Chain A
């Protein structure tokens, strides 16, 4: 009888301990990681895919082109590279007061053939009172920056809040060629 009682007591204790372990795993008090070595290797591999790249950012000011060099991390993913490039250009354009309001890049996507890029901004790039030529030069500065840094992109669709960018003078319904329109 006492042996039977001991057996029940041990079973109850084992059930309690098993329950305690399971609840600890569920609540993340105990974390089990069976791929620790593999994950570490993956992280090292990802890090080695990035290289430092010297990029040139262009802007038009005082009737001439100006450029500024900066270093960014350049990887295999075209969309990530484009995001870094455009974000750096936006920061420079805001600093140089080419763009009056602070504008963020919501998303930068590249089509499957890596020819067309979709840039979605938080707001329009232009002040309402700018002339068409000044607006063109803002777009041309961005296109020249992307073109110079050899991203392989051939055309860009400009978006605001994931909708086609609206402007009274410039038509963004179609993608703009990377070469721009100010060739003549």
Chain B
């Protein structure tokens, strides 16, 4: 418990010293294996991808801070990721998901959180108590901007041969519930060749968001 608090404090100080902090949240944990993929389960693939993406981003932009929400074999409770992200005041959270692609050409989907209450909400944010499922409204425009920018980057002609990037959708995407910072979920359709072909394009799209 003490080590966890110390780790959080260190991360908080580190996050404050750096200009941009990205939190990578791979789907699945020690309890939930996730969806079955051509070479294993979602849990393992997303974690490996998150680690590789962290290394890639650190090489591309050494001044940014990248945090993984969990270590291998760790279990997170519901809303724990949101709690970490909100306490560390991250600038962007990227939730990573994989599924087995059955179509000939794989697809990448980009999601950001939006729910029914958003349509009923007035846009002036008065000092008030907000339930956790309305946390997204504070950075909604920024989130939408990041998601659309990422979609635009991944729809470039050079990637069209490999995959199709679908339009960014605002949906009640459960892994992003309760996060105040801009939070984006990506879902990649994997075939037998694994996640490696997607690493470079996603790292590049994130670098462009950071540059903006």
A residues at B contact (CB < 8 Å): 128-133, 136, 155, 167-177, 181-182, 184
Which of chain B's residues has its CB closest to A169's CB?
B174
Are A128 and B174 in contact, CB atoms less than 8 angstroms apart?
A: no
Q: Check if B91 is an interface residue, CB within 8 A of chain A.
A: no
On whether A176 and B109 interact (CB within 8 A), knowing A181-B170, A181-B171, the answer reads no
On whether A129 and B35 interact (CB within 8 A), knowing A171-B115, A171-B133, A176-B116, the answer reads yes
Instruction: Tell me whether chain B's interface is mostly helix, strand or loop, or mixed.
Output: mixed
Cα A136 to Cα B129 with chains together (Å): 30
Within 8 A of A (CB), among B75-118: 97, 99-100, 107, 109, 111, 114-117
Which residues of chain B are within 8 angstroms of A182 by Cβ–Cβ distance? Answer: 169
Which of chain A's residues has its CB closest to B35's CB?
A129
Which of chain A's residues has its CB closest to B34's CB?
A168
Cα A93 to Cα B27 with chains together (Å): 29
Cα A129 to Cα B133 with chains together (Å): 26
Cα A136 to Cα B171 with chains together (Å): 9
Q: Check if B36 is an interface residue, CB within 8 A of chain A.
A: yes
B residues at A contact (CB < 8 Å): 27, 32, 34-36, 97, 99-100, 107, 109, 111, 114-117, 119, 133, 166-175, 177, 185, 187, 189
Are A181 and B174 in contact, CB atoms less than 8 angstroms apart?
A: no
Are B133 and A131 in contact, CB atoms less than 8 angstroms apart?
A: no
Which of chain A's residues has its CB closest to B98's CB?
A131
Are A133 and B187 in contact, CB atoms less than 8 angstroms apart?
A: yes
Cα A167 to Cα B111 with chains together (Å): 16
On whether A155 and B116 interact (CB within 8 A), knowing A171-B133, A174-B133, the answer reads yes
Cα A168 to Cα B189 with chains together (Å): 17
Are B172 and A132 in contact, CB atoms less than 8 angstroms apart?
A: no
Which residues of chain A are within 8 angstroms of B115 by Cβ–Cβ distance? Answer: 171, 174
Contact of B117 among A131, A132, A174, A184 (CB under 8 A): A174
Are A177 and B119 in contact, CB atoms less than 8 angstroms apart?
A: yes
Contact of A132 among B167, B170, B173 (CB under 8 A): B173
Which of chain B's residues has its CB closest to A63's CB?
B103
Cα A167 to Cα B172 with chains together (Å): 11
